[in-house]
Chain A
């Protein structure tokens, strides 16, 4: 934990980077001070309610560079969506990398996350001696109709009750309102970062933005807000970035690999539609409503995840953000067996073509990009095509 001094913009960013790289840093510190930690997957779990319970929420990510051998030994090697990611998470859970977790909330989102729930539950059943956190399955529907919203709201209420059990205290409306104010502020600050990234010319890179956004999910929000304000105070001095403006769409990106490759080709990822990227912060919670109901509404109507119906919302979201960010081209990246994404890409590609925006599509990608050269070549080709057309 840093002291009370005010950091420079550069130092604030270094601190943000530190938390992005050492994702368990803040959670372990919290745990060391006697607090309890709740892990969760996806952007579908209301971290606000966890915070209001006085618990530390941390979004779990895999490690493309990490090992998977222990997971593969312990888990039936059955086909699963985004297998590399699933095995990475399981390996981290089984080898103690996530040993600071007291509880784990797993939402009913895409098939790979649902599979993770089943595998963790089976592992816990088959070997109670394994040090795995207590899990809560946050059921939800995949349509976005009113009746489904009511179902989701009731499941969220059950989560709230479970969090109250875990923390041993009631979650009051006042506590929720207080947290909403903090998380909304966080999202507003992240939107400022998104604006700097999409500015003409941009002064924040995609790689920097992913770290800023991602670290928000690994830290307490007040702490992140302080860092963000300190960082933003100095962004007027940041140098403008040259190069082609690209947009990234596709599978969830919990590492920097793809953005680093793209930006090493001289482009800037000016925006994205990723749950580890801009999509995390672009819908605020309505403070004019009852705080719990407002949270339930926000998560039901958040920016569309590819696991939600209808796909047309996804297409519109992508196109709108490409246009708003004045992106000159789009990179689609889909992990192996990520069926939620794979069916969307042809429609998006076609719609972009009609707008005269070229794209490149990396399909069946491994979680770890061990051979970046072919991707670089395709990106350079895309950049050349864009430059030739100007």
Chain B
């Protein structure tokens, strides 16, 4: 039911929120009983662990929990004392070095059986190797994570690449790199089987990919409902909270989380429930966390952030059909390319969500790649100096809304 203050939080989103903490506690108990647990960098391999029923924490997710608990400064100091840079990617490593369950979010992580990550950056490879050494567990590096084409500037993404990702992903990936990645992932599965005693079969892998695709498809249907419904039925906060279900993709639980989400969104649309009944303007927020100024913009102007950087990732990026029935190759392709950060993709999102404008934080050292394209397409873009609800940000937003969107 809609009140003046908008709809209550989605039950399906709250269920996911609650489950995450429960999941870690359950994992801790399972590890105590001798079961394996893994740490894996985002989008490298995690669904295979899910399919093998090995609990896995995704590094960027764990780092975001640390950040949410406002512990980055504390853990930055832990790293500095050891002689390492206070790097955000290394927050999980810092929590392990600190070794204080009382201080760590959710009581900290249990000891993993192994750590998986990529070699794609100077930092990632080093941090993960050091982290594994701290735990006394193996680190298995994989090449070409999210690095599909060696000569990207020479071969720019084709127009409307997102329409190729589900069925024609082979046109976006260098097949030579993919061949090696498949080999490395097979070797990793062998290694996991030996290390943990768990087994993987092709039947299970196929089932996992089907569940993954079903989950992402349902997510896409929910996205479509949110995009086409005015006023927006789901707050951006809830849309983003649901994203945690991505860490369970490839499982019945992950699929069911998003099934419940889709059904709740559908119910809201059918019942005319609005996240913000005062909605007058729709914005796309170019970030992955809810904006600090959202409440102010809603109350002051009825300007509602209805979409974010994450809105279309599930359906545009995660869904993968097999080509020639090769499940390993389809999954490995997922690990090599998730999405291609192009302004036309973001513009498409702003359009399908029926946005009046787009807001992004400006980086003084990086000219906006989006501004020209968006403005030329008639989609006003506002650059705010930072994501904070302060006088300066309000002033920039007020000026943008009043002069570009309301005039």
Contacts and interface: CB of A to CB of B under 8 A. Distances in A.
Interface string A118-147: 100110010000000000010101110101
Contacts of A141: 119, 143-144, 180
A245 interface: no
Given A147-B183, A148-B180, A76 B367 contact: yes
Contacts of B152: 118
A112 B272 CA distance: 53
B153 A121 contact: yes
A347 B366 contact: no
A142 B126 contact: no
A240 to B, nearest CB: 36
B121 interface: yes
Nearest to A151: B180
Interface string B105-147: 0000000000000010111011101100000000001011000
A339 B141 contact: no
Interface string A67-82: 0000000001111010
B184 A311 contact: no
Contacts of B130: 311, 343, 347
A311 B139 CA distance: 11
A331 B183 CA distance: 40
B309 interface: no
Interface in A250-281: none
B115 to A, nearest CB: 13
Nearest to B121: A111
Contacts of B121: 111, 339
Nearest to A150: B180
Interface in A337-361: 338-340, 342-347, 349, 361
B127 to A, nearest CB: 7
Contacts of B180: 141, 147-148, 151
B136 to A, nearest CB: 14
Interface string B84-97: 11010000000000
Contact of A142 (B84, B141, B154): B141
A310 interface: yes
Contacts, number: 85
Contacts of A361: 83
B366 A309 contact: no
A139 B175 CA distance: 13
B365 interface: yes
A309 B119 contact: yes
A386 to B, nearest CB: 21
A139 B181 CA distance: 14
A141 B187 CA distance: 16
Contacts of A154: 176
B4 interface: no
Given A118-B153, A121-B154, A342-B85, A143 B143 contact: yes
Given A143-B141, A311-B129, A347-B130, 19 more contacts: A76-B367, A77-B366, A78-B365, A79-B365, A111-B121, A117-B153, A143-B119, A147-B184, A148-B143, A151-B180, A307-B122, A309-B119, A309-B129, A339-B121, A339-B122, A339-B123, A339-B126, A343-B130, A344-B126
28 contacts: A77-B365, A78-B366, A79-B366, A81-B122, A108-B150, A110-B122, A111-B122, A118-B152, A125-B154, A142-B119, A145-B187, A147-B180, A148-B143, A151-B176, A151-B180, A155-B176, A306-B122, A307-B122, A309-B129, A311-B126, A311-B129, A340-B126, A342-B85, A343-B123, A345-B83, A346-B83, A347-B130, A361-B83
- Closest 3 CB pairs between A and B? A346-B83, A343-B126, A121-B153
Interface of A: 76-79, 81, 108, 110-111, 117-118, 121-122, 125, 137, 139, 141-143, 145, 147-148, 151, 154-155, 306-307, 309-311, 338-340, 342-347, 349, 361
